[in-house]
Amino acid sequence: MYHKIIGGKKSKGQRNIKKSIEYLLREKNPEQQKDIKILSTTTKQDLINFENYILDKNKSNPYVCGVLSFEEKSISEELKTKLITEFEDILFAGIEQENRPPVMWVEHNDKGRVELNYLTFNSLQDRRSYTVYLDKRDRGLVNNYSEIINYENNLSSPFEEKENKNTLTNKPKTNIPEDKKQFIENINTEIMALIINEELENRDQTIKHIENMKGVKINRIRKNQISIKSDLFDDDKPIVLKGDIYEEGRDYSDYRKEFNPKPTRDPEFVREKLTELKRTFAERIEKREIRNRSKFKKPSFKNIPENRQSVQREDQDIGYKYTNGDFINVSNNDGFSGMYIRTDNMEIVNNESINTEYKTKTATEETAGTTRTRDIEKINQQQQFVNSRLEEAGRKQQQFRKSIDTTEGRFGVCRRSVHSIISTFGRYIRTFSAYTRKNEHRQKFEKRRKIEEEKLKIKNQGSYNRRRYKPY
Residues 71 and 96 placed together within one structural domain of the fold: yes
User: Does any domain span residue 387?
Assistant: yes
Residues forming a β-bridge with 240? 227
Q: How far apart are CA 119 and CA 132, in angstroms?
A: 11
Whole-number Å distance between alpha carbons of 187 and 180: 11
DSSP state of 178: H
- Say whether both 215 and 271 belong to one domain: no
Q: Is 456 part of a structural domain of the chain? A: yes
Write out pLDDT tens, residues 147-169. 999 999 999 888 775 444 446 67
Q: Does residue 224 sit in the same domain as residue 77?
A: no
How many Å is the Cα radius of gyration of the chain? 38
Q: 334: how many CB neighbours lie within 10 A of its CB?
A: 12
The total of structural domains in the chain comes to 3
Residue 172: per-residue pLDDT: 72
pLDDT band at 364; cut points 50, 70, 90: very low
Express each pLDDT in 301-327 by its tens digit.
555 554 444 434 434 443 333 333 343
Q: Which helix (H) or strand (E) holds 84?
A: helix 77-91
Check residue 323 and give its pLDDT: 38
pLDDT of 466 reads 58
Q: Are residues 19 and 87 in the same domain?
A: yes
Note the pTM of the prediction, 2 decimals.
0.50
Cα–Cα distance, 231 to 209 (Å, whole number): 17
Distance between CA 191 and CA 189 in Å, rounded?
A: 6
Verify that 237 and 272 share a domain, yes or no.
Answer: no
pLDDT confidence bin for 250, thresholds 50/70/90: confident
User: How far is 238 from 226, CA to CA, in rounded Å?
Assistant: 10
Residues 449 and 397 grouped into a single domain: yes
Asked whether the predicted pLDDT for residue 465 surpasses 50, the reply is: yes
Q: Are 251 and 270 in a shared domain?
A: no
| Contact indicator for 352, 359 with CB cutoff of 8 Å | yes
Residue 172 CB partners (closer than 8 Å, separation 6+)? 180, 181, 184, 185
**Which residue, 222, 194, 16, 2, is CA-closest to 121?**
16
Answer yes or no: do 281 and 243 share one domain.
Answer: no
Helix (H), strand (E) at residue 444: helix 368-468
Residue range 169-198: mean pLDDT, rounded: 82
Separation between Cα atoms, residue 54 and residue 394, nearest integer Å: 38
Cβ-contact 158, 261 below 8 angstroms: no
Among candidate residues 218, 238, 256, the one where a domain is terminated: 256
**Which helix or strand (DSSP H or E) is residue 387 part of?**
helix 368-468
Distance between start and end Cα atoms, the chain: 119
Q: Domain range spanning residue 22?
A: 2-160+266-307
- For residues 54 and 127, the answer to whether their CB atoms sit within 8 Å is yes
pLDDT at 66: 95
* Statement to judge: residues 130 and 33 lie in one domain: yes
Model pLDDT, residue 236:
80
The pLDDT tens digits for 116-144 are 999 999 999 999 999 999 999 999 999 99
One domain, residues 234 and 287: no
User: Is a pLDDT exceeding 80 seen at residue 94?
Assistant: yes
pLDDT digits (tens, 9 = 90+) for 44-92: 999 999 999 999 888 888 999 999 999 898 999 999 999 999 999 999 9
Angle of helix 178-196 versus helix 203-211 axis, rounded to 10 = 130
Q: Domain holding 271: CATH number?
A: 3.30.930
Q: For residue 317, which of 355, 354, 361 has the smallest C-alpha distance?
A: 354
DSSP category for residue 219: E
Percent of the chain whose pLDDT exceeds 70: 75
Domain boundary among 277, 292, 307: 307
Residue 103 forms part of a structural domain: yes
Instruction: Specify whether the CB–CB gap between 304 and 125 falls below 8 A.
Output: yes
In a domain, 367, yes or no: no
Classify residue 89 by burial, with Cβ atoms within 10 Å: 0-12, 13-18, 19+: buried
Interatomic CA distance for residues 308 and 325, integer angstroms: 38
Residue 327 is assigned to a structural domain of this protein: no
- Evaluate whether residue 319 is within a structural domain: no
Kindly state whether residues 422 and 273 are assigned to the same domain.
no
Interacting residues of 67 by C-beta distance below 8 A, sequence separation 6+? 3, 4, 6, 115, 116, 117, 118
Which pLDDT score, from 0 to 100, does residue 325 have? 39
Mark whether 408 and 280 lie in a shared domain.
no
- What band does 464 get if pLDDT is binned at 50, 70 and 90? low
Which of 292, 307, 322 is the last residue before a domain boundary?
Answer: 307
CA angle 249, 180, 223 (to 5 degrees): 15
Largest CA distance in the chain: 145
| Contact (Cβ atoms closer than 8 angstroms) between residue 156 and residue 263 | yes
pLDDT class of 467 with cuts at 50, 70, 90: low
Within a domain: 172 = no
Of all residues in the chain, the percent with pLDDT exceeding 90 is: 32
Q: Is residue 329 part of a domain?
A: no
Residue 209: is its pLDDT beyond 60? yes
Residue whose C-alpha is closest to residue 44's, from 28, 27, 30: 27
- pLDDT confidence of residue 370: 61
Alpha helices in 296-342 (DSSP H): none
